[in-house]
Chains A and B, each alone.
Chain A
């Protein structure tokens, strides 16, 4: 239990640092911003209740915001994503539920399941984030393009991480 807690705390810190120090400085042609830190929410254990995931989402979003000097922007998106996770998990749950002791990873539930899971939540997060960021529905096509391109980039990073770091 304590190992689980410390692991998540460390993951939180490492992901925030990667996001703030490296990924926030990458901007490909002004369209693509990878937001790898949402992996933290994706990888939270099944046992954590939905409301806690929502709060954790708010927490990590706010932390990123503090570094990026955009208070509330990421928090809005990550809170929404945390709220949504419970319903996505319910929707995608196997016939006999999630087995105790397993985590939402490729290793336990396969590439197909994890990819769909990560895709839906990443899309949701990016969609909210870019809408809030531009805060202007007139350029909706532009926003959609950014959402799709950034989602591809973020998702690529997440899937790679599943094979390089979270192999077990």
Chain B
């Protein structure tokens, strides 16, 4: 500090010159329009150059942020693409008719998950509660029964497959109309077993098997398969019939959910029997 003061005192002539010149230039640029504007312009050009240089450098360091922002925007734009949306269209139409009461309604849905090689197989459908799917609705494929809806969320439904030992389907022989229960033994997804057919009737290889329509879940007369082998169980008086399924569970893409409009009526009426007992 002392040295600085000494330096200034020693060069007081120059410093006074400097200060007065600064004051003079201040007046010059402050009160002369021409000088002011020229000074501002010239200084502006120089400052612009410097600013551009520094902002270029700054931009380089902000590239990372900019990239992240762009990526976010990309994600946002991708989200608005059509392929990001699941189609919520419902492809059925109700027709009211006083001659025919519409009992069965079919709704086309897509299978988005499927399994055939597990013990308990399930399917997932791409429509759910919002589209009118409820639990215990039947699911049929192009030629046969696929399963029954087990759980529904807003947009999806899980179906217990016919290839699941817990699933039993009421089925009958097309010719004789004798009915029994169809179930899977957990071994070969192409074959199911039809039990409870009494062994006094005649069953041939190649006989057709169809749904009985007793369950209020599936309509009657949906073809299920044909008999491959009919074993007589000597202990129980019933056949043990091996059925080859028409439906190919491995290649399911589109199935139909079946709704029985009269189901409530049937179940209510049938439940009265239990009360009577």
Q: Which residues of B contact A80 (CB under 8 A)?
A: 17, 21
Given A58-B24, A75-B27, A135-B38, A70–B32 Cβ distance below 8 Å? yes
Using an 8 Å CB-CB cutoff, how does the interface string of B7-24 with A read, 1 for contact, 0 for none?
000001110110011011
Q: How far is the CA of A57 from the CA of B25 in the complex (A)?
A: 14
Q: Which residues of A contact B12 (CB under 8 A)?
A: 51
Q: Which residues of B contact A51 (CB under 8 A)?
A: 12-13, 16-17
Q: How far is the CA of A135 from the CA of B30 in the complex (A)?
A: 15
Q: Which residues of B contact A83 (CB under 8 A)?
A: 13-14, 17
Asked if B96 is at the interface (CB within 8 A of a chain A CB), the reply is no
Asked if A155 is at the interface (CB within 8 A of a chain B CB), the reply is no
Q: Are A79 and B20 in contact (CB under 8 A)?
A: yes
Q: Which of A113-132 contact B (CB under 8 A)?
A: 132
Give the residue name and chain of the B residue nearest to A76 (CB). B24
Q: How far is the CA of A136 from the CA of B35 in the complex (A)?
A: 10
Q: Are A58 and B20 in contact (CB under 8 A)?
A: yes
Q: How far is the CA of A84 from the CA of B260 in the complex (A)?
A: 112
Asked if A16 is at the interface (CB within 8 A of a chain B CB), the reply is no
Asked if B261 is at the interface (CB within 8 A of a chain A CB), the reply is no
Interface range on chain B (Cβ under 8 Å from partner) = 20 to 34
Give the residue name and chain of the B residue nearest to A87 (CB). B13
Asked if A15 is at the interface (CB within 8 A of a chain B CB), the reply is no
Asked if B61 is at the interface (CB within 8 A of a chain A CB), the reply is no
Asked if B28 is at the interface (CB within 8 A of a chain A CB), the reply is yes
Partner of B25 from the list A49, A55, A65, A76 (CB cut-off 8 Å) is A76
Q: Which residues of A contact B32 (CB under 8 A)?
A: 70-73
Q: Are A135 and B13 in contact (CB under 8 A)?
A: no
Q: Are B23 and A73 in contact (CB under 8 A)?
A: no
Q: Are B38 and A50 in contact (CB under 8 A)?
A: no
Q: How far is the CA of A80 from the CA of B23 in the complex (A)?
A: 12
Q: Are A71 and B16 in contact (CB under 8 A)?
A: no
Using an 8 Å CB-CB cutoff, how does the interface string of A41-63 with B read, 1 for contact, 0 for none?
00000000111001101100110
Give the residue name and chain of the B residue nearest to A65 (CB). B27
Given A54-B20, A79-B24, A72–B31 Cβ distance below 8 Å? yes
Q: Which residues of A contact B24 (CB under 8 A)?
A: 58, 61-62, 72, 75-76, 79
Q: How far is the CA of A160 from the CA of B141 in the complex (A)?
A: 124
Q: Which residues of B contact A57 (CB under 8 A)?
A: 20
Q: How far is the CA of A166 from the CA of B17 in the complex (A)?
A: 29
Q: Are A79 and B31 in contact (CB under 8 A)?
A: no
Asked if B29 is at the interface (CB within 8 A of a chain A CB), the reply is yes
Q: How far is the CA of A45 from the CA of B271 in the complex (A)?
A: 132
Instruction: Provide 24 A-B residue pairs closer than 8 Å at the C-beta atoms, listed in order of the A residue.
Output: A50-B13, A51-B16, A51-B17, A54-B13, A54-B16, A54-B20, A62-B24, A71-B28, A71-B31, A72-B24, A72-B26, A72-B28, A72-B35, A73-B32, A75-B20, A76-B21, A76-B24, A76-B28, A79-B21, A80-B17, A80-B21, A83-B14, A132-B28, A135-B35
Interface residues of B, Cβ cutoff 8 Å to A: 12-14, 16-17, 20-21, 23-32, 34-35, 38-39
